[in-house]
């Protein structure tokens, strides 16, 4: 019962699942948040329990304030606290800006930017030493596209990630004296199933050979390892920082 407690939004697949599993291996109890994939979330939870850790799965759309409130109520009741929040949930609807419909734009912004703002608010209320908490760490999963505006068709997504970076810098300064560290990670090209919605995973892997200085795409484990380091005491002097875990991808794209 003394284990640290971590919430991973969008924890049922790919990067989120990798974070949950590595965190469990390193001694965390986990709340696996998911939007729709209940069975996959439970599979992740079972892997967490296989490491002898507690796990709960909670369905919640992070773009909906009332569902975020219910998510944190479940954590309070069933896990008893929160030490680390990982804002991982995110979506992209690829389309040129001129042709993108308002509903999709709002959904991208509400999931990728409003969601982390609201979950961070709830986490601060529980973590802040000025509010009776024990401190904690918040890690926002951004994107290397936030640096350069993304590829054609992905501009709205990139804009939300740039906004998330700015939010990370600002709120970290607000709560630095309250025992809370807030950092971010910008993944580059990572081999996840999301590529199947645009280009094939095989095409993405091939692209990584020429579009990434290290000559390969990353794996979810690469992001999970960085998350667990930022959450650890080894990174205790880190806050208001967003680090690139991209194989050097930003060196091959325009950044300003």
Q: What is the CA 37 to chain-centroid distance, rounded?
A: 17
Q: Has 28 been annotated as catalytic?
A: no
* Catalytic pick among 34, 148, 157, 237: 157
The token pair at 110 is: 């509400």
CB 217 within 8 A of CB 199: no
- The percent of the chain in helix, strand and coil, each rounded to the nearest 5, is 50, 15, 30
Coil, strand or helix: which one is 60? coil
Backbone φ and ψ for 9, nearest 5 degrees, come out as: -75, 145
Q: Which residue(s) pair with 187 in the sheet?
A: 245
How far is 144 from 151, CA to CA, in rounded Å? 11
**Are 1 and 180 contacting, i.e. CB atoms less than 8 angstroms apart?**
no
Angstrom distance (rounded) from CA 21 to CA 14: 11
Catalytic residues: 157
């Amino acid at each position: 019962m003394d284990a640290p407690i971590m919430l991973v939004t969008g924890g049922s697949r790919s990067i989120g699942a990798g974070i949950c599993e590595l965190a469990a291996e390193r001694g965390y109890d986990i709340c696996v948040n998911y939007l729709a994939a209940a069975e996959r979330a439970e599979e992740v939870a079972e892997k967490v329990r296989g490491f002898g850790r507690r796990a709960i799965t909670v369905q919640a759309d992070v773009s909906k304030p009332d569902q975020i409130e219910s998510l944190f109520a479940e954590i309070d009741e069933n896990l008893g606290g929160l030490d680390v929040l990982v804002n991982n949930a995110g979506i992209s609807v690829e389309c040129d800006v001129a042709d993108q419909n308002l509903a999709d734009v709002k959904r991208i912004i509400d999931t990728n930017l409003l969601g982390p703002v609201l979950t961070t608010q709830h986490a601060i209320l529980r973590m802040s030493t000025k509010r009776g908490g024990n401190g904690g760490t918040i890690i926002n999963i951004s994107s290397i596209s936030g640096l350069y505006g993304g590829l054609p068709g992905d501009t709205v997504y990139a804009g939300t990630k740039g906004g998330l970076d700015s939010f990370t810098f600002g709120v970290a300064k607000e709560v630095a004296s309250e025992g809370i560290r807030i950092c971010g990670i910008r993944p580059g090209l990572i081999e996840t199933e999301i590529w199947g919605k645009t280009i094939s995973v095989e095409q993405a892997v091939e692209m990584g050979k020429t579009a990434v200085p290290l000559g390969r795409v990353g794996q979810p484990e690469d992001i999970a390892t960085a998350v667990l380091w930022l959450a650890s005491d080894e990174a205790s002097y880190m806050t208001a920082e967003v680090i690139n875990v991209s194989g050097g991808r930003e060196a091959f794209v325009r950044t300003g």
